[in-house]
Structure 1
Amino acid sequence: MNSTSTISRPLTIGPMVLDVPVVLAPMAGITNTAFRRLCREFGAGLYVCEMITSRALVERTPETMRLISHHETETPRSVQLYGVDPATVREAVTMIAAENLADHIDLNFGCPVPKVTRKGGGAALPWKRDLFRDIVESAVGAAGPIPVTVKMRKGIDPSHLTYLESARAAQGAGVASIALHARTASEYYSGHSDWDAIATLKDAVSDVPVLGNGDIWSAEDGLEMMRQTGCDGVVVGRGCLGRPWLFGDLAAAFRGESTRFRPTLGQVMQTFRRHAELLAEFFESEERGCRDIRKHVAWYFKGYPVGSDLRVRLATVESLEQLDELLATLDPSEPYPGADAEGPRGRAGHPKRTVLPDGWLDSHTIAGSHAKDLHEAELNTSGG
């Protein structure tokens, strides 16, 4: 297979046509307007906002209304919605459509966080086939011309896989694409993504694009995933932490170009400073923006000669002026460190038993106490 001629085709999601078949995965506390804008400055694709909880959106909580906002330069505007009740999801999607809040809606069925799955939400929800179908149908029906997509995991654990059945149901409900994070909930983010499952899904679903998610740490990984699986696009999560230029590398790779961004320490410093500036603008507070940039320090400077003392000081920075003073102590001419700056980033965790409601696996139908408890699963927690 000729990779560049075969897989550099545009990705069509409903009325949207993406020249580069790359999607930024929603990540809590990461993919806010500031980070999305920064990624766009390097490359092309679809940049999805932090996950929005349907109930919080309907209730118009101030934080949710801030999170769903997009900068005027962002187009298309993409929102990921999480909900466990078809009626609330329908109301939230109706609101998004009526108030022109987004051009694309993605539904999250991949969260493995115990406080969500123990109530039947997140990656546990597709086990209840009727509920999953009702939520997707409600969203698609309310969205009108706005394309609705779904993102899911393989299932709860290796003995309780749900992705193929769920994908067929989603396709039947009229979604515009399906993304698979090829891990189970019990794997969390550990081990290796099962790209064979992405290929299996691509074979099983013929009417809508299939996107692969998991272990895209470089542009070459994106090309290889598409070559191995035949998927229509890739979803990038932890691989871009501290590396927004990965989207530029992916764009170049899908154009068949060999050029890759290998930043000097000075270029990393400039990008880090730009990120902090955008965060201050997003939060409308320099202090809050600087507090938020602290968690990005280790990701940006991975592999570079930045001493532990300076890293600690950067991780406690309180103002842009202080940030500039600290960065000025570094040598901007330090070259790209190669392999030391590459590879996995972000917490992988360890495999663990998925916490579920009592008796959750006894039936594929939602009923009784499970239906009553589900509302507690609708928390402001994202992932998948």
Structure 2
Amino acid sequence: MPSPVVLAPMAGVTNVAFRTLCRQLEQEMVGTVSGLYVCEMVTARALVERHPVTMHMTTFAPEESPRSLQLYTVDPANTYAAAKMIADEGLADHIDMNFGCPVPKVTRRGGGAALPYKRKLFGQIVAAAVRATEGTTIPVTVKFRVGIDDEHLTFLDAGRIAEQEGAAAVALHARTAAQRYSGAADWDRIAALKQHVRSIPVLGNGDIFDASDALAMMAATGCDGVVIGRGCLGRPWLFAELSAAFTGAPAPTPPNLGAVADIIRRHAVLLADHFGEDKGMRDIRKHVAWYLHGFPAGSDVRRALALVKTLDELDRLLGNLEASAPFPEVGSGPRGRQGSPSKVSLPEGWLDDPDDCTVPEGADAMHSGG
């Protein structure tokens, strides 16, 4: 694709409203839509059981193409059933698999970033998804982290196994689960994976907050594309900037506060269309804090926006902002919670045998979205 950029699935963020906004802004600012925008993570078991919340999360816009869906899974049988359902019912055009989540409630059950340590089980899960989509045009890709911690690195084995089992591409978040989102991503690990995995694309993830960061990662590591997570929080136009950087087009002008207010309003309307106005307004609150990062908004307006309940109230509050205020220099850079390193919660005895294929008990009962 012209812009080798992927929107990382983020719980409570990358729903159809946010993806639609990102795609619209890319089209408006650079005249094309070339990135891959991935849906929030859904749990394989919940999908197969057709849980209403999970099914609603798989909503795609009519014009959205390709439709990309990320599965959280720990069980080869559920993986096969979910991937087969996606293929048979035409629910998506691409399946990504999540083995990178570092959240304790996930890893303590052996899921997410904990699972690639179990090499054989990991391979069986990837193979199940690939087998379920045979004969279709649906590619299966796999995202994982460097490892559980510095003593238990798994990324090279995970890349090799995913490649052998038929994955179409792999993506590496260049942090361990123990790091969560703290410290610096180790791009050297991405370079090492690129050298280790030769027959399929390798994408890099971690500390890409501006277009220049994406270009720097690809130059430093030789990776084939980049995955954008926290860098786009409150900046859905980042994908337009990335598209311009990769295609050599003029960089879009960063929006002033008035333009950002218009984008907030568009985002809120899309959320209201998807969830209904009440839930949509509750959802926009967290985004507003990201949108206004670095702008002169005033504490009273910020507090009121953090409690906004209706679109009319949102309009009134946004009208109080200083529309001509330019995009701030501090508006770029790290976004979202950084957190701090901590010991990874794991099932008892999890590290005893990396070849154990026992499916983690209860891990597939996780709610979709994390």
TM bucket normalised to smaller: over 0.9
2:67 equivalent in structure 1: 77
1:150 to 125, 137, 142: 142
State whether residues 84 and 378 of structure 1, in contact with CA within 8 Å, keep that contact through their aligned partners in structure 2.
no
Taking the aligned partners of 1:316 and 1:354, their CA distance within structure 2 comes to 34
Instruction: Give CA deviations for 1:360-380 in whole Å, capped at 9, x if unaligned.
Output: 11111225xx64x43335412
TM-score normalised by structure 1 residue count: 0.92
1:237 to 229, 233, 252: 229
- The SS at the match of 1:57 is helix
Q: CA deviation at 1:164?
A: 0.4
Distance 1:71 1:150, change over 3 A: same
Q: Which amino acid aligns with 2:274?
A: F
State whether residues 115 and 377 of structure 1, in contact with CA within 8 Å, keep that contact through their aligned partners in structure 2.
no
Taking the aligned partners of 1:49 and 1:191, their CA distance within structure 2 comes to 27
The answer as to 2:290 corresponding to 1:299 is yes
Q: CA deviation at 1:381?
A: 5.8
Q: CA deviation at 1:359?
A: 1.4
Taking the aligned partners of 1:256 and 1:265, their CA distance within structure 2 comes to 27
Q: Which amino acid aligns with 2:218?
A: M
2:193 equivalent in structure 1: 201
Give percent identity, aligned residues only. Answer: 58
State whether residues 39 and 69 of structure 2, in contact with CA within 8 Å, keep that contact through their aligned partners in structure 1.
yes
The answer as to 2:52 corresponding to 1:62 is yes
State whether residues 45 and 364 of structure 2, in contact with CA within 8 Å, keep that contact through their aligned partners in structure 1.
no
1:227 equivalent in structure 2: 219
Q: Which amino acid aligns with 2:44?
A: S
TM-score normalised by structure 2 residue count: 0.95
State whether residues 297 and 322 of structure 2, in contact with CA within 8 Å, keep that contact through their aligned partners in structure 1.
no
1:336 equivalent in structure 2: 327
1:288 equivalent in structure 2: 279
State whether residues 2 and 247 of structure 2, in contact with CA within 8 Å, keep that contact through their aligned partners in structure 1.
no
- The SS at the match of 1:277 is helix
1:374 equivalent in structure 2: 361
The answer as to 2:2 corresponding to 1:19 is yes
- Counterparts of 1:1-384 in structure 2, within 5 Å, are 18-43=1-26, 44-144=34-134, 145=136, 146-283=138-275, 285-337=276-328, 339-366=329-356, 371=359, 373-376=360-363, 378-380=365-367, 382=369
State whether residues 75 and 364 of structure 2, in contact with CA within 8 Å, keep that contact through their aligned partners in structure 1.
no
Q: CA deviation at 1:42?
A: 2.0
Distance 1:282 1:27, change over 3 A: same
1:4 equivalent in structure 2: none
- The SS at the match of 1:50 is strand
Q: Which amino acid aligns with 1:330?
A: L
Taking the aligned partners of 1:353 and 1:382, their CA distance within structure 2 comes to 23
State whether residues 74 and 363 of structure 2, in contact with CA within 8 Å, keep that contact through their aligned partners in structure 1.
no
Q: CA deviation at 1:258?
A: 4.5
- The SS at the match of 1:362 is coil
Distance 1:226 1:24, change over 3 A: same
Taking the aligned partners of 1:229 and 1:278, their CA distance within structure 2 comes to 37
